[in-house]
C-alpha cells in the first residue's frame, strides 16, 4: 500500500515509452527503498553520477573497443547506457518522492541531459574506427562542431535576451526543426496502440535508445550493414536538425 502511494506520487502522468516499458520498474523500487530506509542519496548526487561517472565510462569503453577490437567493450558500454537512461528517471523520482524538488536540481538535470549528444558523436567516432568507415568517422567530427556552434549561439542568445528583458526560452525548443512532425506521427500511433501513460512523443529516453543503445545492440548481433545504414540516416538527420536550428535562430534575430 505504501509503495503504491509512493508510485502514484512520483510517476509522471505522461512518460517516455522506453521508461514505461524498461526503466520505471527498476527506478521506482530503488527510489522507494531510498525513501523507506532513509538512505542518504540525493537527486543531485544521482545526476552528478550520470555526468561524471556513467558518461565518462561510456565514452571510455566506446573509444577503447575499436583499438582492442573486442566487442565486449561495446557490451559494457551498452549496459552502462541503460543505467545512464535509468539514472535520469531515478533522480526525478527520488526528488518527488522525498520532496527534494528544486529549480537548481531541474537545471542540473537538463545540463546532464546534454551529455546524450556527446555520447552519440563519440559512438560515431568509435563505429567509424570499428568499421574503418571514413564517412562515419568524419561525420562524428562535423556533427560535434555543428553542435558546439549551436550551443554557443543559443547560450549567447539566451543571455542577450535576458539583458533585453525578453522571454527567450523558445530558443531551446527543437520543434522548429522538425521534431513537431515526429511527435504528431507518434501521437497518432499512441492513439492506436493505447499504451497507458505514454505521451506519444519522441522523448529523451527514446532518443538515447535509438542513437546509442540500438546501434550497440546491432553491432553485438553482427548486423553490420544495418548499423551503417542507420547511422548514415542519423548523421543526415542530425546535420539537418543543427543547421535548421542555427538558421532559424539567426532568422529570429531580424
pLDDT digits (tens, 9 = 90+) for 224-236: 999 999 999 999 9
Helix axes 55-68, 72-97, angle to 10 degrees: 170
Residues 6+ apart with CB under 8 A from 39: 33
- pLDDT score of 247 more than 70: yes
2-251: which CATH topology? 1.20.120
Distance CA 228, CA 219 (A): 10
3-state SS, residue 198: strand
- Sign, Cα dihedral of 174, 176, 178, 180: positive
Distance CA 238, CA 244 (A): 10
- pLDDT score of 7 more than 80: yes
Q: Which three cell numbers stand for residue 90?
A: 531515478
Confidence of residue 158 (pLDDT cuts 50, 70, 90): low
Picking from 53-62, 73-82, 104-113, 157-166, which range would have the lowest pLDDT averaged per residue? 157-166
pLDDT digits (tens, 9 = 90+) for 12-47: 888 899 999 999 999 999 999 999 988 999 999 999
DSSP 47: H
Every domain of the chain and the residues it spans: 2-251
The pTM of the full predicted model, rounded to 2 decimals, is 0.88
Amino acid at each position: 500500500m505504501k509503495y503504491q502511494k509512493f508510485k502514484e506520487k512520483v510517476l509522471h502522468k505522461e512518460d517516455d515509452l522506453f521508461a514505461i516499458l524498461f526503466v520505471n520498474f527498476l527506478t521506482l523500487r530503488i527510489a522507494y527503498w531510498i525513501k523507506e530506509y532513509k538512505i542518504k542519496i540525493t537527486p543531485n548526487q544521482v545526476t552528478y553520477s550520470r555526468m561524471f561517472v556513467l558518461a565518462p565510462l561510456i565514452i571510455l569503453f566506446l573509444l577503447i573497443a575499436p583499438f582492442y577490437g573486442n566487442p565486449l567493450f561495446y557490451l559494457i558500454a551498452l549496459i552502462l547506457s541503460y543505467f545512464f537512461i535509468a539514472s535520469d528517471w531515478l533522480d526525478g523520482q527520488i526528488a518527488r518522492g522525498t520532496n527534494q524538488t528544486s529549480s537548481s536540481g531541474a537545471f542540473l538535470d537538463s545540463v546532464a541531459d546534454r551529455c546524450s549528444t556527446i555520447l552519440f558523436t563519440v559512438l560515431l567516432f568509435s563505429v567509424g574506427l570499428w568499421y574503418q568507415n571514413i564517412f562515419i568517422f568524419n561525420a562524428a567530427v562535423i556533427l560535434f562542431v555543428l553542435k558546439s556552434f549551436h550551443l554557443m549561439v543559443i547560450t549567447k542568445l539566451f543571455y542577450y535576451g535576458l539583458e533585453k528583458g525578453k522571454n527567450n526560452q523558445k530558443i531551446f525548443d527543437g520543434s522548429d526543426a522538425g521534431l513537431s512532425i515526429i511527435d504528431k506521427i507518434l501521437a497518432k500511433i499512441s492513439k492506436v496502440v493505447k499504451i497507458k501513460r505514454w505521451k506519444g512523443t519522441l522523448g529523451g529516453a527514446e532518443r538515447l535508445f535509438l542513437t546509442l543503445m540500438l546501434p550497440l545492440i546491432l553491432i553485438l548481433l553482427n548486423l553490420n550493414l544495418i548499423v551503417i545504414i542507420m547511422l548514415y540516416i542519423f548523421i543526415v538527420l542530425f546535420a539537418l536538425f543543427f543547421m535548421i536550428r542555427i538558421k532559424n535562430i539567426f532568422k529570429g534575430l531580424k
